[in-house]
Chains A and B, each alone.
Chain A
Amino acid sequence: MGNLTKEQIQDRIREEAKKALATGEVSCVVGWTKTRFPDKTKPFFAYTDAECDLLVWNEYCINSTAKYALDDRYPEQKIGLITRGCDSRALNRMLKDNQLKRENLYIIGVVCDGKENPVCDGCQHKNPLTYDVLIGEPVEETINEKRFTEVEAFEKLSADEKYEYWAKQYDKCIHCYACRNACPACNCVECYADQYRVGWQGKAADREQNQVYGLTRVFHVGDRCIECGECERVCPMHLPIMRQTKKMLKDINDLFGNYECGLPDDSKPVLGEYKLEDPDEFM
């Protein structure tokens, strides 16, 4: 977090949130506030100065703020978002997917030093990549040497071992769609799984239907996953969902070269565009 203490960042967040509301262009600022449990914060929407004073910044600010921007795709006023590196990549994801318009967002970036969330250990972008105002001095970015270590180890298991592992996991799944609803890459206006009348996805929470859902989602978000880990964090049954998305990303890295999503560049999802030089050995 560079040069500022947690308290200083929290003060600056409140100050910037108030400033944003005072311009009259921003309707509310989405950040975090305390709950009755000291190790939990919750997403919070500040509409007034008094509410801005309830915004907090601590190691438990783990929920992504970005996806709330989708609640109002055509807002009358800008939506203010307290944005960490992961949130900014989530916003870039949704901007690139044409789900949001940049001019509808007011982004208060905060340099983040990681939260009480296992996924933060592998974070490669502690600095927000997109913002209107930045709180804190940018820190040097790190490369996560262990990005695919676990996936590589898992790949070495036999097919039966892998199936047994995932079958047990999907027996736990309760089909609640928390992973989808928390995922910034899951931004379809109507999810295929909600099109019950078409019958893509059965509603019963049994192993078969849970697997159909889990695998379809992983393939659907495969080349657009920003590795924020929200899917795994929100899962009430603790399924290791990131292991699947990481496998997709690893294969993409192997096939198409170094690849990362949610960066503020013009790159397109690799599976969504065709290039002559794309690998085609399988054909």
Chain B
Amino acid sequence: MAIDHECSCNKNPLVPSLCQVIDVKQETGDVQTYTIQTMDGKKPFSPLPGQLAMVSLLGVGEAMFSITAQGEDYIQCAIKRTGLLTEAFHEMLPGQVIGVRGPYGNSFPVDDIKGKELLFIGGGIGIAPVRSLIRYCLEHREDFGHMDILYGARSKSDICFKEDCLENWSKEPDTNVYITTDISTEDWDGHVGFVPSYLEELGFQPEGKKVILCGPPIMIKLCSESLIKMGFAKEAVITTLEMRMKCGIGKCGRCNIGSKYVCLDGPVFTLAELDELPDEK
């Protein structure tokens, strides 16, 4: 049989390229951001906002992470310490050689949301994928309407990307930033409360607005309910899913929800699209 070798990546999609970590930044107690370059100082690839990278620590393991930012010659992933592999990641120092393959998955529908007002909602490490889109929108600021960014973390010290969340983004034109923490601490004089209730308190108008919602499953569930109560259409709420992944290219099987593979057809879905899938998320 003749095999059509047209692969999106033009090479063996399961073999990573060697890359190096050029900077490690401690975001919170258990989140670090890694700046990643190829061995010859180039950008590994140019992902779309919301896309994923399979990052491996050779000899330890490999896992999928969202790409939280990119520049001329680098990409960045923010990784939370949750298991053995991510614990090993957290031991990394600048200069560490890693394997990277990707980019994987669909992306935030940047064309669909052009010209719209945007409401970004993030919780905890869920701000990582959202940040890639926020950065994209700020770079193309004139293409988008008013932007609201609502972010919740457990406490002030758990806020990821502190410069962006607490300083930079609120200085951007036509952009409001709302930060809330779950618990009240001495170093925090901002809002205290969970994201869904703060969301209802703020009471955004649904007209002409698209919502980008990422966070832990329970937050997504409660915020979705609040947004629908506030009059948002399910088509207007865009979220991302998380599943265990191994291959990243829709072959190995495990990240399916119904007939969709999160690694390939996701991770970005609207609530309307999720309604079409079996309830196994």
Task: List chain A positions with a Cβ less than 8 A from chain B.
Answer: 197-198
B84: Cβ under 8 A from any A Cβ:
yes
B83: Cβ under 8 A from any A Cβ:
yes
Residue of B nearest to A198 (CB): B84
Task: List chain B positions with a Cβ less than 8 A from chain A.
Answer: 83-84
**How many angstroms from the CA of A198 to the CA of B61 in the assembled complex?**
12
- Going nearest first, the 3 A-B pairs with the smallest beta carbon separation are A197-B84, A197-B83, A198-B84
**How many angstroms from the CA of A197 to the CA of B85 in the assembled complex?**
9
**How many angstroms from the CA of A202 to the CA of B83 in the assembled complex?**
18
**How many angstroms from the CA of A45 to the CA of B84 in the assembled complex?**
40
**3 interchain pairs, CB-CB under 8 A:** A197-B83, A197-B84, A198-B84
Chain B residues closer than 8 Å to A198, beta-carbon distance: 84
Chain A residues closer than 8 Å to B83, beta-carbon distance: 197
CB distance from A195 to the nearest CB of B (A): 10
Interface class of chain A by DSSP: loop
CB distance from A199 to the nearest CB of B (A): 9
**How many angstroms from the CA of A197 to the CA of B83 in the assembled complex?**
9
**How many angstroms from the CA of A197 to the CA of B84 in the assembled complex?**
7
CB distance from B199 to the nearest CB of A (A): 36
CB distance from B216 to the nearest CB of A (A): 21
Chain A residues closer than 8 Å to B84, beta-carbon distance: 197-198
Chain B residues closer than 8 Å to A197, beta-carbon distance: 83-84
**How many angstroms from the CA of A198 to the CA of B83 in the assembled complex?**
11
CB distance from B166 to the nearest CB of A (A): 35
CB distance from A194 to the nearest CB of B (A): 14
CB distance from B252 to the nearest CB of A (A): 13
**How many angstroms from the CA of A180 to the CA of B83 in the assembled complex?**
26
Residue of A nearest to B84 (CB): A197
**How many angstroms from the CA of A272 to the CA of B83 in the assembled complex?**
32
**How many angstroms from the CA of A197 to the CA of B86 in the assembled complex?**
12
CB distance from A113 to the nearest CB of B (A): 45
**How many angstroms from the CA of A261 to the CA of B83 in the assembled complex?**
39
Residue of B nearest to A197 (CB): B84
CB distance from B177 to the nearest CB of A (A): 38
**How many angstroms from the CA of A245 to the CA of B84 in the assembled complex?**
34
Residue of A nearest to B85 (CB): A197
CB distance from A163 to the nearest CB of B (A): 31
CB distance from B90 to the nearest CB of A (A): 16
CB distance from B108 to the nearest CB of A (A): 32
CB distance from B163 to the nearest CB of A (A): 34
CB distance from B176 to the nearest CB of A (A): 42
Residue of B nearest to A199 (CB): B84
CB distance from A34 to the nearest CB of B (A): 32
CB distance from B59 to the nearest CB of A (A): 11
CB distance from A196 to the nearest CB of B (A): 10
**How many angstroms from the CA of A197 to the CA of B61 in the assembled complex?**
10
CB distance from A190 to the nearest CB of B (A): 15
**How many angstroms from the CA of A78 to the CA of B275 in the assembled complex?**
38
CB distance from B60 to the nearest CB of A (A): 10
**How many angstroms from the CA of A198 to the CA of B84 in the assembled complex?**
8
CB distance from B18 to the nearest CB of A (A): 24
CB distance from B245 to the nearest CB of A (A): 15
**How many angstroms from the CA of A67 to the CA of B84 in the assembled complex?**
32
Residue of A nearest to B83 (CB): A197
CB distance from A124 to the nearest CB of B (A): 45
CB distance from A42 to the nearest CB of B (A): 26
CB distance from A278 to the nearest CB of B (A): 38
**How many angstroms from the CA of A23 to the CA of B27 in the assembled complex?**
60
CB distance from A130 to the nearest CB of B (A): 39
CB distance from B46 to the nearest CB of A (A): 33
CB distance from B132 to the nearest CB of A (A): 28
**How many angstroms from the CA of A197 to the CA of B87 in the assembled complex?**
12
CB distance from B56 to the nearest CB of A (A): 15
CB distance from B83 to the nearest CB of A (A): 6
**How many angstroms from the CA of A197 to the CA of B82 in the assembled complex?**
12
CB distance from A203 to the nearest CB of B (A): 11
**How many angstroms from the CA of A67 to the CA of B83 in the assembled complex?**
31
